[in-house]
């Protein structure tokens, strides 16, 4: 081998060795997209009767809620939203499409709603009763304020009890918005929620939302509220 050829080959070898550790590894794997799931009902569809009827529960859970789950997951896949958790998804709600926000809210809100109900009348006691009485003056005044929030939500939406950095607040959101969304005027950690969309009560109560609210107090799961209060 001539001297010039030897020098050129050596230079190429050194260069190859020197850059071997710098070659980028290209992966075909894409970040996993957020997927909303529908929580199983923690009771049978007839368990909340006579306050919430079986037919309403079957339609509400099996059609409306199922549709929200399907639609939000389709939109997340179509838009490839980079959010990995539901909390992050809602913290960026103002950046989402209407379809993603509305259906994501519907998916999460209903999962929450099923959990804060339970068959049989429940008693408000312990730390929940103490916190509500201290904040709102009495348990009756709390119920009045919450019912008023639910009654005065024009059109469709939700009434909420939230903890905003330890302070209890009552408010409502339109459509399928919730207090976790960055665009919501009411912000905080949800403790209790009431769905006041007509599909939640119209079969049994028609346009009598007040009767629905009154009956709903009989199925509130105060143990779940206490758990969320911490």
**pLDDT tens digits for range 113-150:** 999 999 997 899 999 999 999 999 999 999 999 999 99
Residue 6 pLDDT class (50, 70, 90 cuts): very low
Percent of the chain with pLDDT over 70: 87
Which pLDDT score is estimated for 121?
78
31 — pLDDT class (breaks 50, 70, 90): low
Position 30 scores a pLDDT of 58
Q: Return all residues near 112 (Cβ < 8 A) that are at least 6 apart.
A: 190, 193
Region class of 223: left (phi > 0), else alpha (psi between -120 and 50), else beta: alpha
State pTM to two decimals: 0.86
| Domain positions in the chain | 53-230
- pLDDT one-digit tens code per residue, 145-193: 999 999 999 999 999 999 999 999 999 999 999 999 999 999 999 999 9
220 neighbors 122 (Cβ within 8 angstroms): yes
Q: Are 115 and 224 in contact (CB under 8 A)?
A: yes
Four-residue CA torsion sign, 106, 101, 194, 134: positive
Give the residues across from 222 on adjacent strands: none
Q: What rounded mean pLDDT belongs to the chain?
A: 90
Of the two residues 26 and 70, the one the predictor is more confident about is: 70
* CATH class of the domain at 53-230: alpha beta
């Amino acid at each position: 081998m001539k001297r010039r050829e030897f020098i050129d080959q050596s230079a190429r070898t050194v260069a190859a060795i020197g850059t071997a550790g710098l070659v980028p590894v290209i992966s075909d794997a894409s970040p996993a997209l957020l997927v909303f799931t529908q929580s199983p009902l923690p009771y049978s569809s007839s368990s909340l009767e006579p306050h919430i009827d079986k037919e309403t529960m079957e339609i509400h859970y099996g059609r409306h809620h199922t549709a929200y789950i399907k639609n939000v997951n389709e939109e997340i896949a179509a838009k490839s939203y980079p959010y990995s958790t539901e909390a992050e998804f809602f913290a960026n709600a103002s950046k989402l499409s209407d379809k993603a926000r509305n259906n994501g809210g519907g998916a999460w809100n209903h999962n929450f709603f099923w959990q804060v109900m339970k068959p049989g009348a429940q008693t408000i006691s312990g730390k929940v009763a103490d916190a509500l009485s201290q904040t709102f003056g009495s348990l009756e005044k709390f119920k009045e304020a919450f019912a008023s929030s639910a009654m005065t939500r024009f059109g469709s939406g939700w009434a909420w009890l939230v903890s905003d950095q330890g302070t209890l607040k009552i408010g409502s959101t339109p459509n399928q918005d919730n207090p976790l969304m960055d665009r919501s005027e009411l912000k905080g950690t949800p403790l209790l929620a009431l769905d006041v969309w007509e599909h939640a009560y119209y079969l049994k109560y028609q346009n009598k939302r007040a009767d629905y609210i009154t009956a709903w107090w009989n199925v509130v799961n105060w143990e779940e509220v206490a758990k969320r209060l911490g």
